[in-house]
Amino acid sequence: MLSPVRRAMAAVLVPAGLAAALLPASPALAATHRSVLSARATTEKDQDETLLLQSARAYATALGNLPGPALEQAFLAGMIPHHAAAVAMARQELARGSRPELKAMARNIISTQSKEISRMTGWLHTWYALTPESARVRVPHTVQQLGTPITTWMDTATAQLSTVPPGARFDQAFMQAMIPHHETAAIASTAVPGHATHEALTTLAQQVVAAQNAQVEQMRTWLHDWYPS
């Protein structure tokens, strides 16, 4: 049976003649995105994460092909709920996790991304007289389709995280979910520099890439050190 991520990817890619993207990633792709454990990963989870990153790159490419104002509206409409999901996951870590270092990161995620949500929401209103909801309606259908697997994965990961018992096991599950979540945000944000109309959005996108990639590397280190098996 196909997982929710695979069903979403199939619905987007197969009609477009891109069924090959449903196959496991190449070694070069796996080397680029280290959250995928191996290009030959056999578990459904690892393969789903490979597909998730493929979808994020396709989504970023589609964003970058939009004219400046349309790119800004689509990016903001997508990144606001993406940040909101990260904040919700981080709140679960504060409530159910056990590692002080990870809780400190969760607090940073909540603080930083909540402020960025407010800033992005304000930009939509000031620049385009839009709310996040009305901006989402204006996103071209093809771009919405490419973003669907990311949304599906986020919903699935958040639901699964809520079933994990508190303590060390939750810490591990939180990082395993937050790493690809951060990676999709960083990939999408690479579409903004060189294409956005407002310099402020370019600066924010660059900050998202830098901050979330740094947290990804830190979480990978903690996973290696705390859960060596």
Sorted by where each begins, the domain ranges of the chain are 4-9+59-226
Structure tokens at 17: 């003649």
Helix (H, G, I), strand (E, B) or coil at 3: coil
**Which of the four pLDDT bands, split at 50, 70 and 90, describes residue 43?**
confident
Q: What percent of the chain has pLDDT over 70?
A: 82
Q: What is the mean pLDDT of residues 115-126?
A: 98
In this prediction, residue 46 carries a pLDDT of 77
In this prediction, residue 5 carries a pLDDT of 53
Task: Give whole-number Cα distances, 9 to 41, 53, 70, 159, in Å.
Answer: 18, 11, 24, 19
160 phi and psi angles, rounded to 5 deg: -65, -40
Reduced DSSP (H G I as helix, E B as strand, rest coil) percent helix, strand, coil of the chain, to 5: 75, 0, 25
In this prediction, residue 11 carries a pLDDT of 55
Alpha helices in 129-198 (DSSP H): 132-138, 141-161, 168-189
**Which of the four pLDDT bands, split at 50, 70 and 90, describes residue 107?**
very high
In this prediction, residue 9 carries a pLDDT of 55
Q: Which residues contact 176 (CB under 8 A, 6 or more apart)?
A: 223
In this prediction, residue 12 carries a pLDDT of 53
Structure tokens at 98: 């056990």
Looking up tokens 């991520």 gives 5
Q: What DSSP character marks residue 208?
A: H
Any idea what the Cα angle at residue 57 is, between residues 53 and 61, rounded to 5°?
170
Write the class of the CATH domain 4-9+59-226: mainly alpha
Query: Taking 60 as the threshold, does the pLDDT of residue 145 lie above it?
Result: yes
Q: Which residues contact 123 (CB under 8 A, 6 or more apart)?
A: 72, 76, 198, 200, 201
- DSSP assignment of 106-121 equals HHHHHHHHHHHHHHHH
Query: Taking 90 as the threshold, does the pLDDT of residue 24 lie above it?
Result: no
Higher pLDDT, 209 or 2: 209
In this prediction, residue 20 carries a pLDDT of 37
Q: Exposed, middle or buried by CB within 10 Å (0-12, 13-18, 19+), for 193?
A: middle
**Which of the four pLDDT bands, split at 50, 70 and 90, describes residue 39?**
very low
